[in-house]
Structure 1
């Protein structure tokens, strides 16, 4: 399995989420992590233990409505659940064996972004490619004849 593509998927997720303005971005991500908590319900790999996990993730998602930290915790909890399902041989998509493993690689990327407060990666990229006014000003004066 390719280990790089799940990292790319995690980064792309964060980039797409950056299109949503705050505070809606945080709330939308709380809903997403809550939904991720129910991802394994139909497969039922751990039988009735799937239900307390869904309840835990619902609680974490609820707290995530007001806290990026809780959203990050939710993604890490989901990572642990992904690993457990992968080791049991009960993937998130039954027809694709490595999907839980890929999810376990992708989710911590999203969690790290959440622990940073879910910043707009688009704004960050724009800052990298646009020199600051002070740099432009300094460069202009350095190249001006004396």
Structure 2
């Protein structure tokens, strides 16, 4: 996972000109955040699900490269009016993670459940994962 994090940070910083800061000082339940206006991301490396950090980083990168803007923190909830924005950020994040998953697998070895387990992707995103993996193959 460290290699994936490093590669995603380099992608954000060098290819997308996004500032990425890592903090281990936050609560294990404080979410990471992106600020599109300043093109900066803060990643909570103390997150209680360490294996989910690449998803968090990819998701926050996605908000910025998707051009998302909001006046409040963006938290996933189907009740919020920005649900589509979060869904699109999740889709872009999944697209960013797929190449890492496919690196050591043939198309016959690709498995939606395994991908989701690898990156601790929430089950409500299964259809998106299925679509994007199919598209990537």
Larger radius of gyration: 1
Q: By percentage of residues, which structure has more strand? A: 2
Q: By percentage of residues, which structure has more helix? A: 1
TM-score of the superposed pair, with normalisation by structure 2: 0.32
TM-score of the superposed pair, with normalisation by structure 1: 0.30
